[in-house]
Structure 1
Amino acid sequence: MGHHESSIGAFWTNPKESSEMSKPTLLIISLGELGTNILEAVARTDLFEPVFVGSRSLVKAEERVNNAAIGAGIEGHFPDLRAIQLDINAHDAPLKLRQLKPDYIFSAPSLMPWWKLDERASALPFASFTALHLSLMAKFRDVIEKADTGALWIGASFPDVINAVLNRNGFGPDCGIGNIQEPIPKIQAAVAARLKCLPQNVDIRMISQHAFEYYVLNEKRTETLPPYLLQATALGRDVTDIAEDVLRARFPFPYDLHFNRVTASAGLAALRALLNPTPSAIHLPGIGKLIGGYPVQASRSGIAIDLPPDWSMDQAISVNEASLAWDGIETVETDGTIHFTMETREALFSLVGKSIDILSVSDADEQAKKLLNAL
């Protein structure tokens, strides 16, 4: 999957890319709410042929496929959707995956998604539940690595951190979706309203980590934000001062199941960019070993970090890593080990009754079991 550690230029390059590339195939595994919304969105396009939908339960996969097929058909799309039985824990999972030969893989597994947490648990730092994502993503990693299909892997489970953890520990996703991309339309629309221009004419470049959007998409005007970098231009002029103001404006937002539809839109935008023969500007989180999200140029040839001339890569990395504390993470080591902040340590102790200071791939299963028992 061609990872490159350059500051600007090709970060990921597609080994399958060619000028005569046929319509690619997509495999969606982990049919939770986000995976289902991605399926529904993709079914209403002509981007992939076929789309494989994998689940431990073939019946569940068939039901989701048929629901998407009917809805898409009503809108005039009749995609090739194929339900398959795929248990990531089965010994033959790598072989099945290798036989499918997908060009793109999408996964967003979690042992307990954020929207299922009760009021007590949801008040804890977000990092408290990282093991619930990492445990399954590590299992997916092992299967995808053994299958060795050369597919681009989009990992969407807390990608700003999980993707970096896996890549620093070995093999991991190429990129994630959502998070950094999701507050940008709010900024574009508000800036455009002030300037009386089209939102599409407002160009945004941003560096931010997962926690940022929860302060921007919020029912209260927010003066204090997690660390970030922002540049906005419109009509040939710098309008960053306007963007800085409007991003803090009150913006009531439903953090419930409807949020998955927004993330699916971000996923569809990412897929369109990654399938385009010519590079296009987009923001992506969880790129290789990098924490947080970045502006990139993406195409079917690969992903390249695309910073404004006055931002350095070291500066961008520092900003995103400084934002980790707002999710309850002190640092992520070069080997992928997560160190929790004191607030998260205290929250985990109150939840499971034991001291938990760190999280790594090797102890993710055990920590996830403790969390599930407590929840």
Structure 2
Amino acid sequence: MSTVLIIGMGDMGERLASRLAEGGRVRRLVLAGRSPETVAAIAATVASAADCLVEPAQVDAARSDEVAELLTRKRPDLVVQCAAVRGPWAMAGRRDAAATAVAGAGLALRLPYQLSVLLAVMRATRDAGYAGPVANLSFPDVTGPILARLGLAPTLGLGNAAMIQLRVRAALRASAPDTETPLIRVIAHHSQVAAVMQADEPADPADRSRVHLGEHGRREDGLAYQAPPLAPGPRYNHVTAAGALPVLHALLPGASRLRWSTSSPGGLPGGYPVRIESGAVSLDLPPGVEQADAIAFNELQARGDGVERIDGDGTVHFISATREAVADLAPGLAEPLPVADLERRARLLDEVLA
């Protein structure tokens, strides 16, 4: 039995804590967040609902020194990073001009909210000498490749490709309830998740998520869009958590091998099918699919989130549509984003959205 540290006690952190506690494979959960009252309440709730030791821990995840000290003190077997300055649903329900423009610009514009805490956590793992796996929930399809440029990539990301895999499974189950579900392998980017969740199949086949069935990898991209539609909102977190749980279990010591689809293994852009075995994560691409082609597909799909390219030093360049969407809000809001400018750009976003 093992120890799992979850950093960030927002909605997803609490969902994953509850699922891990109930799974019977975790002996000890350490739940860490900035608010001691919130963390204590969540820890007490999770401990009351499952047979698992649950410990609250106060930490400012934006401070690498605090996270490094926590890692040294708790010695987890797995770190699950869920913390962000602002979550992706922080603007849900807003219809004002600033929020509409920022949302329309693509999620990459809000990278300062998603990347800064993750960067601090990954620096802390390096400083503390932590050698175990890190599973990242903060916009992994884009933050993973940025941190890979810095030698700080998490082991893998959670959600997105896994969510699409579950949607394909639901479509297969509905069409053939008495048939065993085949192996499903997904190559897809975060930018494609919304269309899948809303069952809105792109007209251009090149923009569809790539779905491969069975060992031979038969292409059935349309299956990604055949499950019942779900309107955008925090309800998606149910599917995110369901897709993440098998990955987290597979990363634990002594776990069985898993074949699954998930985001940013080793810092790659977008999501891929993987094998997780004995703590090692490797790509599980279908026959005839080259890694370079899968990466190129996901790099192209990153434009749907507003990413033009990522430089060797981690600087993010935004597509012209993103720059145009917020051109009237604040000078420099969509200029190239160096890692060193994350805090200043987050403050600028705060001012625009205030």
- Name the TM-score, length of structure 2 as normaliser: 0.89
Percent identity of equivalent pairs: 25
Residue-pair matches, total: 343
- 3-state SS in 1 of match to 2:118: helix
Seen in structure 2, the aligned counterparts of structure 1 residues 59 and 300 have a Cα distance that, compared at 3 Å, is farther
Paired residues for 1:1-375 under 5 Å: 23-70=1-48, 72=49, 77-88=50-61, 89=63, 91-117=65-91, 118-119=94-95, 120=100, 121-195=102-176, 197-198=178-179, 200-218=180-198, 220-224=200-204, 226=207, 228-233=209-214, 240=219, 243-249=220-226, 251-275=228-252, 277-354=255-332, 356-375=334-353
State the shift of 1:101 in Å. Answer: 0.9
C-alpha change, 1:282 and 1:27, in structure 2 (3 Å) is: same
Give, as a single letter, the amino acid of the residue that structure 1 aligns with 2:182: V
Structure 1 residue ranges without an equivalent (≥5): 1-22
- The CA distance in 2 between the partners of 1:59 and 1:39, in whole Å, is 17
Residues 238, 356 of structure 1: alpha-carbon distance in 2 compared, 3 angstrom cutoff? closer
What SS does structure 2 have at the residue aligned with 1:335?
coil
Q: Which amino acid aligns with 1:203?
A: L
| Displacement of 1:353 | 3.4
Task: Specify whether residues 284 and 265 from structure 1 end up closer, same or farther in structure 2 by C-alpha distance, changes over 3 A only.
Answer: same
* Matched position secondary structure for 1:164: helix
Q: CA RMSD in A?
A: 2.2
Moved more, 326-335 or 171-180: 326-335
Find the aligned partners of 1:38 and 1:112 in 2 and give their Cα distance: 18
Shift of 1:36: 1.1
Give the structure-1-normalised TM-score.
Answer: 0.85
Cα distance change on mapping 1:205 and 1:84 into 2, 3 Å: same
Q: Deviations over 1:265-299 (max 9, x none)?
A: 12211112223544221111022231011101112
SS at match of 1:303: strand
Offset from partner CA, 1:124-169 (integer Å, 9 cap, x none): 3222211211122222222222112212111110001101111211
1:44-89 CA-to-partner distances (Å, cap 9, x unmatched) read 122212110112222221100111222x2xxxx3110011122232
Aligned counterparts of 2:277 and 2:299: Cα–Cα separation in 1: 27
Following superposition, the deviation at residue 192 of structure 1 comes to 4.4
The amino acid that maps onto 1:130 is L
SS for the counterpart of 1:205 is strand
Cα distance change, pair 166–202 in 1 and its aligned pair in 2 (3 A)? same
Query: 8 Å contact 1:128–1:347 — kept in the other structure?
Result: no
Q: Residue 332 of structure 1 contacts residue 338 of structure 1 at CA under 8 Å; is this kept in 2?
A: yes
Secondary structure of 1:52's counterpart equals strand
Seen in structure 2, the aligned counterparts of structure 1 residues 218 and 56 have a Cα distance that, compared at 3 Å, is same
- Tell me the distance in 1 between the aligned counterparts of 2:208 and 2:310: 17
Structure 1 residue 250, shift from structure 2 partner: 6.9
Contact residue 135 and residue 365 of structure 1 kept, 8 A = yes
Residue ranges of structure 2 left out of the alignment (5+ in a row): none
SS at match of 2:231: coil
Equivalent pair of 1:216/1:251 in contact (CA under 8 Å): no
Q: Is the 8 A contact 1:26 1:50 kept in 2?
A: yes
CA contact (8 A) 2:185 2:273 kept: yes
Given that residues 125 and 343 in structure 1 are in contact (C-alpha distance below 8 angstroms), is that contact kept between their aligned partners in structure 2?
Answer: no
Q: Which moved more, 1:201-210 or 1:269-278?
A: 269-278
